[in-house]
Amino acid sequence: MLTNIPGYPRIGSQRELKKACENYWAGKISLERLELTSRQLRKENWNGLQETGIDLIPSNDFSWYDQVLDMCMTLGVIPSRFKALQQTFANPGCPELYFAMARGYQKNNFDITALEMTKWFDTNYHYLVPEFESVQQYTLHQPKCVEEFKEALSHGITTKPVLIGPVTFILCGKIKGDDLTHTQLLEKLLPVYIELLRSLQQAGATWIQLDEPFLVTDLDPATRDLYHAAYTAISQALPALSILLTTYFGALEDNTTLALQLPVQAVHIDLVRAPEQLDAVLAALPADKWLSLGVVDGRNIWKNDYAASVALIEKAIQQIGEERVLLGTSCSLLHVPYNLEDETALDPEVKQWMAFAKQKVAEVIALKHIIAGDTSLLIDNETVMNSRKISSRIHQPEVKARLESVTTADTQRHSIFPHRQKLQQSVLQLPLFPTTTIGSFPQTTEIRQLRADLKKGIITPETYNADIRNAITETIYRQESLGLDVLVHGEFERNDMVEYFGEQLDGFVFTQNGWVQSYGTRCVKPPVIFGDVQRPEPMTVAWSRFAQSLTSKPVKGMLTGPITILQWSFVRNDQPRMQTAMQIALAIRDEVKDLEDAGITIIQVDEPALREGLPLRKAQRAAYLSEAVKAFRLAVSTVDDSTQIHTHMCYAEFNDIIVHIAAMDADVITIETSRSQMELLEAFAGFKYPNETGPGVYDIHSPRVPAIAEMEALLHKAAALLPLRNIWVNPDCGLKTRKWPETEMALRNMVTAAKNVRLAMSN
Ligand SMILES: CN1c2c(nc(N)[nH]c2=O)NC[C@@H]1CNc1ccc(C(=O)N[C@@H](CCC(=O)N[C@@H](CCC(=O)N[C@@H](CCC(=O)O)C(=O)O)C(=O)O)C(=O)O)cc1
Ligand SMILES: N[C@@H](CCS)C(=O)O
Ligand SMILES: [Zn+2]
């Protein structure tokens, strides 16, 4: 029985890659230095996995920014707007083009927007969306995976290169213009894929992992044909290559036969998300195929329940024999932190239930040993599992009782929206096209340093609070002088919009170094929900009250919603996720009420992860959405009609869930639309979305300063689609990753654009 790891974290256990890339971008280190750090990180990962005894060690799971972007560069999927830049940086070893595609490029007389970024399936990891154009000619542009395979070989390690499979690569991209079909695209890409796989084979690769997570989604007949065409062509061209077709994040279900009949050596399935699929897969597995069992959770941080995993493994062994079984994690370990051993401050009782990437690899090896007869490991694990089941730290009867007493009335505002809107207009007295921002302002090095100093005890809480108050004061005045209508306090006191709340809620623990890549060099440290959640005391009220005291303009209270807190945390797996979400909703509800009582007239409850949590299978979506909407409504429906509830969402395609967005019944929703040129608003208009909407007028992910005319044009587009009094003017998302100068320039232009449109509309 071989052991298999589909992918390992790449940011470095101390986020060395983040620091190296950011320093390279800032011109503080050379390319050689960045490459040196990268080589060191890859070597550490490979050596670590080899020392633990893993058989199929991944390579090409490393990336400077994103593995989908790497695939674009490898195959030459480069949008034509980068052509001139590509000629300027013709040397394939030069990363300028790569980073420009990731981050946009606005210097040396170029002004090129980045590739779109979106969520990788239902994770908090973002990938860059490939753009396919009919004029593109694909060639092996930068065979990074071959270089990394050879690099590992030079350390004496034969790795299993990991690539995005051809069909998933196509499906996660966008075809620009409609003169190219998926079939034509596959025909163009396949020869390059085959050339790449051949190069890997020639370099000595025997196993190659092709990731095809789209196989756990609903597929139409044309897409199924793509799978047949792609894998038939690959196996005919390279019959001796062992392809490990890798699926994760769900069950194959109706794609079981399709996946198992493809001409590959082995198929990997996710038995953490979908243990029930094992029987069907074993029954349909052809006699010449191997099965890779993903039994150790790559998406969460809980220790593996060995008894449950062993039952699955033994079932597979009994039916197909040990020699055809591979054993591993459910998916790449990219989604969990490096090493639990680094956590010296974690509550020991909770810590004993947890496992990070390094521990998960050890669990895979332990399971192999148990299968080989070492039952002592099983007994130790059972003791830990039992301690979690009976721990008094987890269950809080008063939380459960409160949740049981929730009624439908608790999830409904007092009056319907038109009535609330009138009341709110008379209280708030806002102009047409009111301007606002999404909440965060630049998290400068100085602000982050303050928090670091507080943590290290270099400054006192009093000094920290005073400095944060100064930052808020300055930001309120900046917003006033920019002429914004609805202000925010800037979120300076927050390390992260989820971790900050986790730190203040019972039932959570948080880590010191549990970093996970979110996009590019940006990382998050998801808090861990281990028990029943409740709010011991107000979390944001003092900051909001202070900010409001500085101005006569409304300052939005700023909270994170229950589904987003759930999605961006590591969630307990001993009760349904939605039960946990409802407990969080009650905690947020108390905060909403306290903010209102403190005189805050507008309260924003962000739900950017609501779309991300949508089940990958359509059949499961309605149930999720109805519960997610209920959780949001429970969180906000405590307020008076005159209090305006905002919500915010980004990174999402909302067309298919617009009905549910409307059901949230927020008075105002601010959404990301600028990268798609407001395409999304057609869905809002078509559906006659009744409440107010702030379609983002500029992309905050890039330092590029948008021109007034650009934003005016977008606002005119919105005005043609929505009732004028329902339109707000705001950026796509929060400004925490931006610097102050570009932020001020962009907002000044935005306010001018709003004023111009107001004027044009009143004439
Ligand atoms: C809106 N987004 C978010 C997502 N998920 C979240 N959990 N939170 C989000 O906001 N998903 C979707 C998007 C993703 N977007 C982003 C945007 C920006 C970041 C980001 O900037 N991450 C920071 C880390 C944030 C943080 O926790 N900062 C801490 C400081 C941590 C730190 O580095 N400390 C240093 C010491 C400081 C020093 O000495 O200078 C250290 O420990 O070494 C804080 O502010 O206190 C990042 O840097 O990657 C993430 C997702
Ligand atoms: N209020 C948050 C939302 C991010 S999705 C912010 O502004 O950063
Ligand atoms: Zn956002």
Residue 355 φ/ψ region, left for φ over 0, alpha for ψ in the -120 to 50 degree band, beta for the rest? beta
Same-domain pairing of 590 and 505: yes
Is residue 393 exposed (0-12), middle (13-18) or buried (19+ Cβ within 10 Å)? Answer: middle
Pairing state of beta strands 58-59 and 325-329?
Answer: unpaired
Helix, strand, coil: what percent of the chain each, to 5?
50, 15, 40
What range does the domain containing 477 cover?
A: 426-762
Distance 397 CA to ligand 3 centre (A): 35
- Residue 74 near ligand 1, beta carbon < 6 Å: no
Which of 491, 567, 668 for mutating ligand 2's site (highest number of atoms within 8 Å of CB)? 491
Give me the residues near ligand 3 (ion), CB cutoff below 5 Å.
608, 650, 733
CA 152 to chain centre: 29
Q: Which pair of tokens denotes residue 720?
A: 């043609």
Asked, for residue 72, whether it belongs to a domain, the answer is yes
User: What is the 3-state secondary structure of 727-756?
Assistant: ECEECCCCCCCCCHHHHHHHHHHHHHHHHH
Is 124 annotated in a binding site? The answer is yes
Is 660 annotated in a binding site? The answer is no
Could you give the CA distance from residue 586 to residue 594 in angstroms, rounded to a whole number?
13
Is 220 annotated in a binding site? The answer is no
Residue-level pLDDT at 762? 84
Neighbours of 725 (CB within 10 A): 12
Nearest residue to 268 (alpha-carbon basis) of 186, 313, 344, 328? 328
User: Over the stretch 701-717, which tens digit does the pLDDT of each residue have?
Assistant: 888 899 999 999 999 99
Asked, for residue 440, whether it belongs to a domain, the answer is yes
Q: Whose CA is nearest to atom 6 of ligand 2?
A: 734
Same-domain pairing of 372 and 452: no
Q: Which pair of tokens denotes residue 295?
A: 């039994």
Is residue 40 exposed (0-12), middle (13-18) or buried (19+ Cβ within 10 Å)? Answer: middle
Q: What are phi and psi of 394, to 5 degrees?
A: -85, -40
Give me the DSSP letters along 628-640: HHHHHHHHHTTS-
Same-domain pairing of 492 and 372: no
Distance 350 CA to ligand 3 centre (A): 31
Same-domain pairing of 292 and 223: yes
- Residue 523 near ligand 1, beta carbon < 6 Å: yes
Cβ-based neighbours of 397, under 8 Å, separated by 6 or more: none
Tell me the CATH number at 477. 3.20.20.210
Same-domain pairing of 431 and 512: yes
Domain boundary at 371, 390, 409, which?
Answer: 390
Is 672 annotated in a binding site? The answer is yes
Asked, for residue 158, whether it belongs to a domain, the answer is yes
Is 438 annotated in a binding site? The answer is yes
Sequence letter at residue 473: T
Nearest residue to 439 (alpha-carbon basis) of 492, 482, 477? 492
Q: Which pair of tokens denotes residue 69?
A: 């972007």
Nearest residue to 497 (alpha-carbon basis) of 547, 557, 564? 564
595 close to 643: Cβ distance less than 8 angstroms: no
Distance 522 CA to ligand 1 centre (A): 6
Could you give the CA distance from residue 21 to residue 83 in angstroms, rounded to a whole number?
24
3-state SS assignment for residue 380:
helix
Is there a catalytic annotation at residue 182?
Answer: no
Asked, for residue 70, whether it belongs to a domain, the answer is yes
Q: What are phi and psi of 660, to 5 degrees?
A: -75, -35
725 close to 424: Cβ distance less than 8 angstroms: no
Given 126, 141, 701, 716, which residue is catalytic? 701
Distance 495 CA to ligand 1 centre (A): 6
Give me the DSSP letters along 47-83: HHHHHHT-SB-EES---SS-HHHHHHHHHT---GGGH
Is residue 456 exposed (0-12), middle (13-18) or buried (19+ Cβ within 10 Å)? Answer: exposed
Same-domain pairing of 142 and 213: yes
Q: Give the CA angle between residues 679, 683, 688 to the nearest 5°.
A: 135
Nearest residue to 730 (alpha-carbon basis) of 492, 480, 433? 433
Nearest residue to 103 (alpha-carbon basis) of 537, 700, 542? 700
Sequence letter at residue 214: F
Could you give the CA distance from residue 741 to residue 698 in angstroms, rounded to a whole number?
16
Q: In residues, how long is the chain? A: 763
Asked, for residue 496, whether it belongs to a domain, the answer is yes
Ligand positioned closest to the Cα atom of 743: 2
- Residue environment code for 296-334, b if the CB has 16+ CB neighbours within 10 A, otherwise e: bbbbbbbbbbbeebbebbeebbeebeeebbbbbbbbbbb
Q: What is the atom index within ligand 2 of the atom nearest the CA of 438?
A: 7
> With a cut of 50, which residues of the chain have pLDDT below it?
none
Distance 60 CA to ligand 3 centre (A): 30
Ligand positioned closest to the Cα atom of 496: 1
Could you give the CA distance from residue 147 to residue 74 in angstroms, rounded to a whole number?
11
Distance 500 CA to ligand 3 centre (A): 16
273 close to 297: Cβ distance less than 8 angstroms: no
Asked, for residue 84, whether it belongs to a domain, the answer is no
Is 514 annotated in a binding site? The answer is no
Residue 538 φ/ψ region, left for φ over 0, alpha for ψ in the -120 to 50 degree band, beta for the rest? beta
Nearest residue to 20 (alpha-carbon basis) of 30, 10, 8? 30
Give me the DSSP letters along 427-493: HH-PPSS-B---SB----HHHHHHHHHHHHTSS-HHHHHHHHHHHHHHHHHHHHHHT-SSB--B-TT
Same-domain pairing of 121 and 174: yes
Domain boundary at 367, 390, 413, which?
Answer: 390
Q: Which pair of tokens denotes residue 484?
A: 């914004």
Nearest residue to 603 (alpha-carbon basis) of 663, 539, 652? 539
Domain boundary at 343, 370, 390, which?
Answer: 390
| Residues whose beta carbon lies within 6 Å of some atom of ligand 2 | 438-440, 497, 558, 606, 608, 648, 650, 733-734, 736
Q: Whose CA is nearest to atom 7 of ligand 2?
A: 734
- Residue 422 near ligand 1, beta carbon < 6 Å: no
Same-domain pairing of 465 and 385: no
Distance 331 CA to ligand 1 centre (A): 24
Same-domain pairing of 368 and 437: no
Q: What are phi and psi of 289, to 5 degrees?
A: -105, 150
- Residue 495 near ligand 1, beta carbon < 6 Å: yes
Longest distance between any two alpha carbons in the chain, whole Å: 83
Asked, for residue 107, whether it belongs to a domain, the answer is no
Residue-level pLDDT at 107? 86
Q: Which pair of tokens denotes residue 622?
A: 């309605």
Could you give the CA distance from residue 709 to residue 715 in angstroms, rounded to a whole number?
10
Neighbours of 526 (CB within 10 A): 27
Same-domain pairing of 320 and 449: no
Q: Whose CA is nearest to atom 27 of ligand 1?
A: 495
Pairing state of beta strands 528-534 and 58-59?
Answer: unpaired
Same-domain pairing of 330 and 433: no
Asked, for residue 536, whether it belongs to a domain, the answer is yes
- Residue 511 near ligand 1, beta carbon < 6 Å: no
Is 543 annotated in a binding site? The answer is no
Q: Which pair of tokens denotes residue 700?
A: 């905050």
Sign of CA dihedral 669, 670, 675, 678: positive
Is residue 756 exposed (0-12), middle (13-18) or buried (19+ Cβ within 10 Å)? Answer: middle
- DSSP secondary structure letter of residue 243: E
Same-domain pairing of 637 and 691: yes
Residue-level pLDDT at 652? 64
Q: Which residue stretches of 550-576 are H helix?
A: 562-567
Mean pLDDT of the chain: 96
- Domain total in the chain: 2
Residue-level pLDDT at 546? 98
Beta bridge partners of 648: 606, 670
Could you give the CA distance from residue 430 to residue 411 in angstroms, rounded to a whole number?
27
